[in-house]
Amino acid sequence: MLLIALLLVLSSPKLLAEGQSICSNANILPMQSSTYMYNLKSLAEALFANVTTSNSYSAYDTAGTGSDMVYGAVLCRGDTAPGTDCAHQLKEVLEAAMNTSPNTSCNPQKDITLFDDVYLVQLRFSDQDFISDSSNSQECIVRANLNPPPMGQVSEQFDSLVSRLMMKLTEAAVKNTGRYETGQGWLTEESQTVYGLVQCIADMPPETCRACLKSTITKREQMFKSGQMGGAILSVRCSLWYQTEVQFFAGTPLLSLNMPARRAASKFWIWVTLGSFSVVVSTSWLLVHIWIKTERKRERARFELQLLSMAIQNVINLWRIEEGNSGFSLYDFSQIKEATGNFSSENKLGQGGFGPVYKGLLPGGLEVAVKRLAACSVQGLLEFKNEIQLIAKLQHKNLVKLLGCCIQGDQEKMLVYEYMQNKSLDIFIFDINKGVQLNWSMRLHIIDGVAQGLLYLHKHSRLCVVHRDLKASNILLDSDMTPKISDFGMARIFSSNMTESNTTRIVGTHGYISPEYAFDGVCSIKSDVFSFGVLILEIISGKRTTGFYPYDGKLYNLTSYAWKLWKAGEWRQLVCCRIGENREVIERCIHVALLCVQESAEDRPAMDLVVSMLNSENVSLPKPKQPAYFFVRVSETEASACNINVSITLAR
C-alpha cells in the first residue's frame, strides 16, 4: 500500500507548501544503527502490542534512558477498527516510512511525526517529552480550500457555527471513554451542513483532553482564514476536523447543532407560499431555485473531483520518491496524443465504463493501450487512483502490466498499459467463428494462467488483493494467447491477518458475484474463487453465465445447467467442441469449477488448492455440493442467452 499522506515533521503550526521537501520525514534510515533508533523500534512494537491487547485506538509510553530516551504516541481515528486492525495500520505506516529511501541532503531527525490519510492514523516519536505537554505544540494544520469563502456576516456566522460545534463536540468527547466524537451543524444562511470530528488519546484525563481541544479550537480561529470552509489540525495528543457538505467520517453523526427537522419540506412550503401570488412569479422563483440547486450540485461535484485529483497527484509524487526505479513512467500529454494519432477513431479499441481505450505506438515501437478517463467521472477517478496505487505494485506474467500514467491539468487523466494483441477472452469464447481458434491446449493454458494470476494476488504478492470483478472481458490475451488479468479499479487490499471484510458498496458483474458478497456484503478471497469457477464453465462451454439453457424440459442458468449434467453423468453435453484425448482433464476442470461455485464460501477451495487440483492427478477431489444461484425456469423452448455484461456498484 502506498503511503499517500504527507509525512510531516513540523516544529510550529504551518501549511506544507506544494513542492516543499519532505526529507525531514524520511531520515529514519541514517539512524538505524543508533541506540535511539533501537529504542524507537522497541517502543513502537510495545505501543502496537498495547493497542492490540487493550482493543483500543491509541497508546503512549517511553523507552530508553538519558539522551537516547524516546517518547512515543500512536493514534487511529475513531471511525476505524480498534485493536488488531488499528495496530496493523499503524505498523504499515511506520514500515512504509522506514522503507522509504532517504534524501542524503537532509540531516537525521529524532522528532518524527507521521500522518496518513489512507489508514487514518498518526504516530509521533521524539527525544522531547511531548506526552505530558498540555500545549499540543506539535501539530499539522491542513486546509481544504473549497469555493471562495462567504464574506461579511455569513462568514462570521459560519466561523461561529464551527466554533460552537467544536466546543459541543469537545464536551461530548471528554465524557466518552474513547475521547472521540462526531457531529453536524446547519448553517441556515448558506443552507449547508457542516460536519465535525474531535479526538484525544483514549487514556487522556478529561480535563487534559478538554484543555488540549480548546487550545486547538483557538488556534483554528487564529490560523484559518475567516469563513474557511474546511480544514483540520492534527496532533497525536488531540485533533479536530471539519468540512462542509461532505461527511468525511464513517458512521452517523452522534451530535447535531441547529439541524432543521424537515429541511426539504420547509423549502417546499416556501415555494408554495410564493407561488400563491401568481403563476408567473411562482414559475420564475421555481426556475431560480432549480438553477441554484443545480449549481450547488455542480460545485460539490467539482469539489469532489478536485479532492480526488489532489489525492492522485499525491500518489504520483510518492511514486517518484518510493518507486523511482520500478519501471512506472509518467508520460507527457503530447507523447500520448502523438502515439494515439490525436485519439483518432481508427485507434479506438473500445469504450470502458469510465472512458474510451485507444491503441498507441510510442517512440521505439512499443505498442500500448491507453485508457482515457472521462473528465467528470468521480467513480472513474476513484478507480484511476486505485489502479495506480495497486497494479503498479504487482508484477506477474498473468497480470496486465501498467506501464505508467499521464495527467494534464484537471481534465486529462490516462492509464497506459502494455498492448494485448488478441484483446479480451470473451471475444473468442462467446463467438462461434473465433472460438474454433482456441483448441483445448489453449483453453487449458488460459484456465491455468488465470488461476496462477489469482494465486499470486491472494497469496504470493506483497499485498493480499481481491480483484472483485473477475470476468471474461477482464482477461486479456497477448500475441501468444497468454492470459493476463486486467482492470484493478475495483480491487480491494486485505491485510495479512484478515480473511474477509464487510462492505456497504457491492461491486462486480452480474453472474460472477458470489452470494455472500451480493447479499451480505462479505468480501474475501473466496469471492474471486467463485468468479473463477464461473469463468472455467464459460471457457469450457462457450456459454455465458447470464443465459438460460434447456435440460429435461426446463431452463437452467449456467452453473445450475452444469450441475444437472454433472449429476446425471452427462457432462460432455456442456463441452463446446470435440473432446478428443482431453476427456480426463476436461472432466477434472468441470469438477474443480463446480467446487469453486458452491453456495458456502467455506466449502470453496482456496486458489493454492485450486491450482494443485487443476495440475495434479494425484490430488483427490471432493464431491461438489449444489452451486449457488440454482435457478430454474419451466419452459419447453430454449431462451436465448442474454448478453448481459454490466458492472455493478451498489450501496447496501
Residues labelled catalytic: 469
Here the cell at position 194 is: 457542516
Q: Distance between CA atoms of 19 and 11, rounded to whole angstroms? A: 18
- Give the integer Cα–Cα distance in Å for 535 and 454: 13
Where does 24-180 have alpha helices with state H? 35-53, 84-98, 152-175
Is the separation of the CB atoms in 332 and 414 below 8 Å? no
What interhelical angle do 378-390 and 279-322 show, nearest 10? 10
DSSP string over 552-567: TTEEEEHHHHHHHHHH
Backbone angles phi, psi at 175, to 5 degrees: -90, -10
Closest CA to 10 of 43, 198, 21: 21
Burial of 401 (0-12, 13-18, 19+ CB in 10 A): middle
Q: What's the full length of the chain, in residues? A: 652
CA atoms within 13 A on the CB side of 357: 17
β-pairing, 402-408 vs 329-330, is parallel
Q: Are 82 and 5 in contact (CB under 8 A)?
A: no
Count H helices and E strands in the chain, helices first. Answer: 16, 27
Block residue for cell numbers 526505479 = 325
Sign of CA dihedral 174, 177, 182, 183: negative
Q: Which three cell numbers stand for residue 490?
A: 475495483
What DSSP character marks residue 629?
S
Amino acid at 456: Y
Radius of gyration of the chain (CA): 28
Torsional sign, CA 254, 260, 265, 268 = negative
Spacing of C-alpha 67 from chain mean position? 42
CB 39 within 8 A of CB 70: yes
User: What is the rounded distance in angstroms from the CA atom of residue 585 to the CA atom of residue 591?
Assistant: 10
Nearest to 441 by CA among 572, 577, 596, 609: 577
What pairs with residue 70 in β-bridges? 63
Question: Which long-range contacts link 58-63 to residues 24+ away (Cβ below 8 Å)?
Answer: 58/201, 58/202, 58/203, 58/236, 59/203, 60/131, 60/201, 60/203, 60/236, 62/131, 63/39
The whole-angstrom separation of Cα 41 and Cα 35 is 10
CB of 27 closer than 8 Å to CB of 109: yes
Beta bridge partners of 243: 195, 230
CA separation for the pair 534, 511 (Å, rounded): 8
Q: Are 410 and 306 in contact (CB under 8 A)?
A: yes
Please provide the DSSP assignment of 238-287 as one string: EEEEEEES---SSS--SEEES--TTHHHHHHHHHHHHHTT-HHHHHHHHH
